[in-house]
Every structure is written in C-alpha cells, then in structure tokens.
C-alpha cells in the first residue's frame, strides 16, 4: 500500500492526537515559567527551571529512540509517554516550593520526552514523501489550532480567578485530562509495517556512522541551542517579575502568535516544497535575534505582542522546513534513534545555555545593577542567535 493511501486512512486519527496533545500543552506550557516566578523563584532558580526541564527532557532521548527502533511499537510508546506525563500534574500541583515545583516539572519532562522520537518515526511511515511539506504543514495547523483553543480557554478561566493560584491550577488540571485523551487517540492509529533494522545497536549514533547532512544539522542545531537559550531565564524574569504578566496577558500573546501561525501554515508547506528547506531554516533561526532586543530595550506588552506576531510568520515556515529536512536526512529504519540524538544534543545545549544565562544574571546583577545586567545578556544572546543562524548556510539542500 502506498504512503498516500496509508495516510488518507489514518490522517483523522493523527489530527485528533495532535489536536488533543497540543490542547494539553497549550493549557500549561505558556504559563509554567511565570508560575515558577509567582512561587518566588530567583533569577538563578529560573535558570535552573529552564535548564533542568531541557536536561531531563533530553538526556534519555537516544535511549528512548533506540528502544523505539528496537521494539517498533511507536504508537504504544507515544501513548505511554503522554499518559505518565499527564499524571505528573498530580504531584506538580501538590507543592508551593519553587525548587520542588522545578523538580516535579523536570520529571514530567523526562517521561514526556519519550514520545518525540517515536512520533517522528510514526509520521515518517505515514506521510507521503512527495507531499511532505504540505502534509506536515497541515498537521502543524492542527497543533496550532489545539494550542490556540487551549490558551483562549485558559485566558477566559483566568478572568474568574485573577490573582489567585487557581488562575494557574485550573488550566493545569485541564491539561492533565486532555493529555490522557491524547494518549487514547494515539492508540487508535494503525501503525504501518516497518522492516526490522539489521542488528540494531547504539553504534548507529557514532559520529562516523552518521551521514554528512545529519552531522551538519546536529552540529548547527546544538550550537544554536546554546545561543537560543541564554535568554530564556531573562525572558521569564522580565515577564514574571518586571512586567508582572498573568495568565490573561500571556494568553493574549500566545493567541496572537498561534493565529498568525495558523494562517501562515496555509502557505508554508507549499513554499517549502517549492523553494526548499534550507532557506527557511536560515531565515527563521537568524530572525529570532530580535526577541532579546525587544525584551531588553522595549519591555512593553504592545511591543512584545507585535514582535510575536511578526516572528511567528517566519516561525511557521521554519517549523515545517526543519521537520521536513529531518525526515529527508534520516534513514527510515533508525529514524527514531537519529531524531532522539538530535533532540538530546540540542536539549542538553538548551540546558547549558539556560544555566549560563541564569548564573550570569545572578552574578552580574549585584555588580552592575539589575537592568544593566539583563540588557547586557540580552545583547549577547541576540548576537549569538544571529551569528549561529547565519552559519546554517552550511546545510545542504536534500536532493542537491
């Protein structure tokens, strides 16, 4: 049976899984950092927050991917990962201590990370090769739609509990319920047969075994991970403690971003299929240097809103191009392991960059003052994002 026929039979189950999963994440992910700040987390604790989540979410990626490629039960791994991650909300909401909260969220990230390589491998079996960009864009639209609806709901709920912990707790509990629903939907997908990998072992992730295109992407994505994440603790510090935004304001920012992405994704897949993946990866990653500049020198709600809208147009093309590029340069029989290696490497670099940003802020603030330190680190982050983004010209367009 051709990939196209397989996908047509399974696409609504895929859409339902993506919709429920993104709805769950949309109820929680935009608010976790601000909730940590509300609990009283310091700049260095916010650095730990971003660092620990990325570390725990990516340290096991290669093992998760290896297990997935070994047992070939991709949908089952996705469902189990979603279920355990959802149930962790019971523990997360049981504490008001910043570090305990960070530890529980990190554990949730650890178990939730098992789904990523298996989901990518499953999509690789289902998505038609000749329409990869268009199909992935369609899937991303459902992801954006789910996140958009969830964040709108969180914003409405927050108006009834503004200023209290329930402003955060109710969306988090709803996230648990929809996460379990997504796991059920994942089990309904019929996984196509896949040939067994020949003598599969972790030796497939040795640098000497990786193809050149993937090694280049791995190196550039890892470097970009550090450049990208230096600013993350500072974003949370500015939004949570300086601007003092709550669920409602963050919902507005997220909704505006998601609506922009949802509209843009109508053309993203077609453009990526027509003009290639490399150009959109370069433009997307380079343009993100604007975020730290705006947060550091124009920390106003209106400025951040406009920036989010503008850059999410570019981000929509980047998401489709990057996902399509990964599927093109990874071998089918060990794709989950390759994707896991990429996720682990970039995730650990996210962890390192976040730790650098939070620690540097904690060190510099007493010496040169709070805002001077924050702005200096934002400039460093912006320059690093731009420079590493430009280096992506070293990528080779698949098929050239």
Domains parsed from the chain with CATH numbers:
3-191+209-394 (1.20.1250.20)
Query: Nearest to residue 58, comparing CAs of 343, 380, 379?
Result: 343
**End-to-end Cα, the chain, rounded Å:** 29
Q: Tell me the average confidence (pLDDT) per consecutive run of 10 residues in the chain, 400 residues long.
A: 66 91 92 88 86 82 79 90 96 93 93 88 78 76 87 86 83 96 93 62 55 89 94 89 82 86 80 87 95 94 93 90 87 76 87 91 92 95 97 83
Q: For residue 207, what pLDDT is reported?
A: 52
Cβ atoms of 229 and 354 within 8 Å: the answer is yes
- Provide the 3-class DSSP secondary structure of residue 194: coil
- CA–CA dist 142, 366 (Å, integer): 46
Q: What is the pTM for the complete model shown? A: 0.73
- CA–CA dist 210, 254 (Å, integer): 37
Q: For residue 127, what pLDDT is reported?
A: 76
Which residue do the tokens 């603790």 mark? 233
Q: For residue 1, what pLDDT is reported?
A: 44
Which residue do the tokens 């497939």 mark? 204
Contacts of 173 (CB under 8 A, 6+ apart): 89, 93
Name the helix (H) or strand (E) containing 344.
helix 335-368
In a 13 Å sphere around the CA of 83, the CA atoms on its Cβ side amount to 11
Q: For residue 270, what pLDDT is reported?
A: 81
- Provide the 3-class DSSP secondary structure of residue 400: coil
């Amino acid at each position: 049976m051709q990939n196209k026929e397989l996908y047509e039979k399974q696409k609504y189950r895929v859409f339902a899984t993506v919709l429920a999963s993104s709805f769950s994440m949309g109820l929680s992910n935009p608010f976790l950092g601000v909730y940590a700040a509300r609990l009283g987390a310091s700049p260095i604790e916010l650095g730990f927050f971003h660092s620990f989540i990325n570390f725990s979410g990516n340290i096991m990626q290669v093992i998760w991917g290896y297990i997935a490629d070994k047992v070939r039960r991709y949908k089952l791994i996705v469902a189990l990962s979603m279920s355990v991650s959802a149930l962790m909300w019971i523990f997360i909401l049981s504490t008001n201590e910043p570090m305990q909260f960070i530890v529980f969220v990190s554990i949730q990230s650890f178990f939730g990370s098992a789904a990523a390589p298996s989901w990518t491998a499953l999509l690789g079996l289902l998505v038609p090769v000749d329409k990869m960009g268009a199909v992935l864009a369609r899937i991303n639209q459902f992801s954006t739609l789910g996140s958009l609806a969830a964040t709108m709901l969180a914003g409405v709920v927050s108006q009834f509990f503004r200023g209290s912990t329930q402003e955060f707790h109710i969306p988090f509990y709803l996230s648990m319920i929809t996460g379990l629903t997504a796991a059920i939907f994942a089990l309904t997908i019929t996984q196509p047969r896949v040939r067994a990998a020949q003598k599969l072992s972790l030796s497939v992730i040795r640098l000497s075994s990786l193809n050149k295109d993937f090694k280049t992407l791995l190196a550039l994505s890892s470097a970009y991970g550090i450049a990208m994440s230096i600013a993350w603790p500072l974003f949370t510090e500015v939004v949570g403690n300086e601007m003092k935004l709550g669920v409602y304001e963050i919902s507005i920012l997220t909704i505006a971003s998601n609506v922009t992405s949802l509209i843009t994704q109508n053309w993203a897949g077609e453009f990526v299929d027509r003009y290639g993946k490399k150009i959109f990866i370069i433009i997307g990653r380079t343009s993100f240097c604007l975020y730290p500049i705006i947060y550091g020198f124009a920390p106003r709600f209106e400025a951040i809103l406009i920036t989010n809208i503008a850059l999410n147009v570019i981000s929509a093309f980047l998401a489709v191009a990057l996902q399509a590029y990964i599927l093109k340069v990874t071998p089918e029989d060990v794709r989950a392991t390759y994707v896991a290696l990429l996720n682990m490497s970039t995730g650990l670099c996210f962890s390192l960059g976040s730790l650098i940003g939070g620690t540097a802020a904690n060190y510099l603030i007493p010496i040169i003052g709070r805002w001077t330190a924050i702005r200096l680190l934002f400039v460093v982050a912006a320059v690093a994002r731009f420079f590493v983004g430009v280096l992506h010209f070293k990528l080779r367009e698949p098929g050239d």
